[in-house]
Chain A
Amino acid sequence: MNLSFTQDFGPIGLLVLGAAACAFIDLRPRAFRNWGGSLTRWVALAALVLAFLASIGFWRSSYGLVPPDIEHGSFVVDRFALFFYAAASAAAGAVVVCGADSESEVSPHLGVYHALLLVATAGVLFTASAADLASLAVGLAMTVLPLNMALGLRKTSSAAVRSAARSLMVSAGLILLFVGGEAIVAGVGGATALGAIARHAIPVDPLMALAALLILIGALGQIGIFPTGAWKAGETLTAPVGAATARTALVSLAAFAAVLRILPGALGSEPRDWTVTVAVLAGLTLLAAPLQALRQRRMMAAVQHLLIAQLALPILALTEVSQSATATILYSLLAVIPLAAVALAILGPLREFGQDDTTNSLRGLWARSPVVAGMLTLLIAAAAGLPPLAGFFVRIFAIEAAAQAGFGWLLWIALLSGLLSALVAYRWITVVFDSRVDGPELDLPGRVSMVGIILCGVSSLGFVVALGPLLGIAARAALAPLFGP
């Protein structure tokens, strides 16, 4: 009896088991009362660490020139998938650690929250491993829907519940768009397996532009690319901060994994059909997101829009079908994840202390809480892609990729977007450093959150120093073909 699939499905299995354990603990609170209220946090963290280590182990075992990829029908464990395995496990772990201080927002359903988080992480892994159109849609839904449910766990706020319900419906609608796009691809390509579509000589077909549009909006609309940006960032204002952050980090990974598998992966041989659509969407998002960020009076919303602007850069790189361009996309996803986690670790406790994140509340924060203010400054600078942080290099690489693909005009839009983002960063940094001091002195985040903040802050800076090695890893993950062996 061949049991190798248990090993290949190991990381996903660990996460599902962890989710089941968290849900069980939440359902039987009396049985676990002696273990402390945050037991599910440690269970979730253990599952994520094990999944991460398993991913790294797989990666190292397949680090040769020709990876011994593993295929089980429409499921493949190649280095592309393993990159997402490790990134998603690390991202979810960072969310759990950095969100330790704001767990009371989802009380008394902390176990449900952690279970949903683990299921969503398993969804990212499933999406990254999918080698079939149907599996991709299932994986994306598995990531998006639990996280949208988690948005409604803040029971003290009826607005959060309403917002989560609306968010769930809209996300489901976007997934339908994604499936519609997939249906066109399957119809024109004559198959649902990505490998078969890639081998099928697809004729130049205007329908493919529509398919690309539906796939992009269906997948990347979940993270707020144009035209869903204003709505997606707005939802986070009432939601539990942890759930909102997890959605930014994990859904970005799942959405890009799905898009990369389909567009440069299966349809990479005839990119002219869809690159114009990608370029237009990237350009519109690059302009709309920082403009929206400029209008915000709450920092969480501004950071969300800045992160959307940062995530538009990998879309820009999507216009070029090459290993370097795909590596740029993977690296930029790595650069965004710690930022989302730090945002959670800082803004979550602010809400806990009864402070909000409006301009008035944060004015003069430097004098009241220098450490929190310093972290906020680093966060906003990194989210805006200011030099010498990773986002600055991502912008250069993405512009280069777009220019290589023949979309030189996007250079000017990307530069304007960078300038607008810098203006947003300047505005918030001057608020934090303002000499007028409003509000009480704030305590530091708790010990667990501080560990998360330090790790994420160090990785934000370390991603720049280790630019070469990280891009090397991303380039290995981006090795064609992206649709499995």
Chain B
Amino acid sequence: MPSDISLTLIVFLPAVGAFVVLGLPVRTDLQRFRVRTTALFATLLPLLIAIFDLLGEVGNPSQGALPQPSFDAPWLRHFFFQMDYHLGTDGLSLMLLFAITAIFPALVLASWRIQERYRSYFALLLITEVALTGAFATQDLLLFLVFFALPVVPLAILVSFGDQGGSAGRRLLLTQGLATAALLAAILLMLLRSGNVTFDFLTLSTANPVQGAPALIVGALLLFAFGSRMAIFPLQRWFVEGVASAPTPVAMLLTISSLPVGAYGLVRVLLDMDPQASLQLVRPLLALALITLFWGALAARGSGDARRVVAYGLVAVGGPVLLGVTAFSETSIAGALGLAFAYVLFAPLLVLAVGAVCDRSGVQVMTSLRGAAAAAPRLRLLFAVGVAGLLGIPFVAGFPALFQLLVGSFVAHRFVTALTCLGLLVLAAAAWRLTGSVFWTSPAEEGGVPVADSHGSEFYAGWILAGLLIAFGVSAGYFVPYTVHGTDLVAARVSSYAPAVVPAKKAAHS
């Protein structure tokens, strides 16, 4: 039985680590090593707690419907509204929370060789972990907003650490600042129009939602907020520029801070708390899903910059996720969340492999990178596992998620699902182009210099990610039922607001 305090520890231990890191000296190599080691421990402890205290819950799928464990303490009472310090995980959030805690030690290892601003870098990294774990652990909407907004400035600062990161950092701040403002506006409108005085997820998911035109406004604001975080079309530029110009570990961090949080927010807030708007927005959502997928895949196919190819390819993943959310069935929603879960593992892996090649060769242009990884079999293998995750190849974590998503969506939107399959083929072509020209070809005859292979901390970081991607792909049967149970209630909630469909024969008779 998990203890009540475990989630608090998972969320806030990295914050303690951040304060400790800020207080450590960094004059000698040994002192800098201590900073890195402290950061590593601050990320390993939440992972250990998650493994021993939370992961056991997955074995009992029926628990996925309600938050377990749950820690609820009143924070604000007798005011305009009530606010609770309420943490808990259920089928919607547990696996995402676990993936985030698992990925951060790998991120610290990938950051092992940074050369400057040790303390600020690792402190900001740890604060971002607080924000991400907090977003998945909270059961209070206002607290979710706080954790949604918390990583924006740290991420913008981290992105601006890159050589060309200044404008990317500003763009990130502006876009995500607007997204936060939109979410805040949506929450306040929801509160004012529905007459609810609590932000508790459980209460809000059973209370009467906003009705009529305000529901649509709230829905549009939520779509903007979470779509922007997911980097769907046309709000993807901050993400693409960030991944293309930030230092490689920061670009990895950027990927896990984007789509997973946005997709979770869409399911948790838009579908569960504004079901009417979800139904009214079906067509725009489907259109956005297709445009995001095709635009991302085609841009990846056409781009000449290796990092941008990866960034556009990751943007394209937002399309299938949106489709899964829009199909409103427990299978498709579980598939969408599963894809977000797999994304936490394969996206940083792809960025790591391509970033390593670009960093070592000093260029990002694909024609100059021809065969650059020819002498780096480990990097090639890491990249291959990442691509397998992206395309949903069997035995990696992306496969069960994509399968569920497509099967669940096919019932509701056959034509769009078929087009999505076509879009995935275009994405595969883009991935094949990058694979063929950089990783699995011989170096250019003039000026082509193969880069050194992955080793040391980078090697361990890559193999942690690849190992998790494969492990979760093989053991999908263990955790998928838990997620599906979590999505049951959401799907039922949306369906209960759908207009009753009159059977065709009966309608003809009448």
A interface residues (Cβ-Cβ under 8 A, vs B): 324, 327, 366-367, 370, 374, 381, 386-388, 392, 396-397, 399-401, 403-404, 408, 411-412, 415-416, 418-419, 422-423, 425-426, 429-430, 433, 435, 467-468, 471-472, 475
Contact = CB atoms under 8 A, between A and B. Distances in A.
B50 to A, nearest CB: 22
Contacts of B80: 324, 397, 400-401, 404
B177 interface: yes
B465 interface: no
Closest 10 CB pairs of A and B: A415-B181, A387-B149, A388-B146, A400-B80, A468-B76, A419-B177, A387-B146, A426-B173, A422-B177, A468-B75
Given A392-B146, A396-B184, A423-B173, A475 B192 contact: no
A332 to B, nearest CB: 13
B163 to A, nearest CB: 10
B119 A396 contact: no
B188 interface: yes
A408 B178 CA distance: 18
A482 B81 CA distance: 23
Given A387-B150, A400-B80, A400-B188, 9 more contacts: A366-B117, A370-B120, A399-B188, A403-B188, A415-B185, A422-B177, A426-B153, A435-B116, A467-B76
Contacts of A475: 78-79
B173 A388 contact: no
Given A403-B192, A408-B192, A324 B181 contact: no
B166 interface: yes
Nearest to B80: A400
A435 B184 contact: no
Given A366-B120, A471-B76, A475-B78, A423 B177 contact: yes
Contact of B119 (A370, A411, A415, A419): A370
A397 B79 CA distance: 9
Contact of A381 (B83, B153, B177): B153
Contacts of B142: 396
Contacts of A435: 116-117, 161
Contacts, number: 97
B430 interface: no
B191 A400 contact: yes
Contacts of B149: 386-387, 392
Interface residues of B, number: 40
Contacts of B77: 468
A424 to B, nearest CB: 11
B240 interface: no
A212 to B, nearest CB: 24
A386 B153 contact: yes
B156 A374 contact: no
6 contacts: A366-B120, A367-B117, A416-B181, A425-B153, A471-B76, A471-B79
A429 B124 CA distance: 12
B486 to A, nearest CB: 27
Contacts of B192: 400, 403-404, 408
Contact of A422 (B76, B173, B191): B173
A379 to B, nearest CB: 14
A116 to B, nearest CB: 38
Interface string B148-191: 01101100110011000010011001100110110011001101
A135 to B, nearest CB: 31
Most B CB within 10 A of own CB, among A324, A415, A423: A415
A90 B189 CA distance: 37
A381 B146 CA distance: 14
B74 interface: yes
B22 interface: yes
A335 B191 CA distance: 25
Contact of B188 (A327, A396, A468): A396
Given A388-B150, A396-B142, A426-B153, A412 B185 contact: yes
Nearest to A325: B80
A25 B116 CA distance: 51
A468 B74 contact: yes
Nearest to A373: B120
A433 B188 contact: no
Interface string B85-116: 00000000000000000000000000000001
A415 B191 contact: no
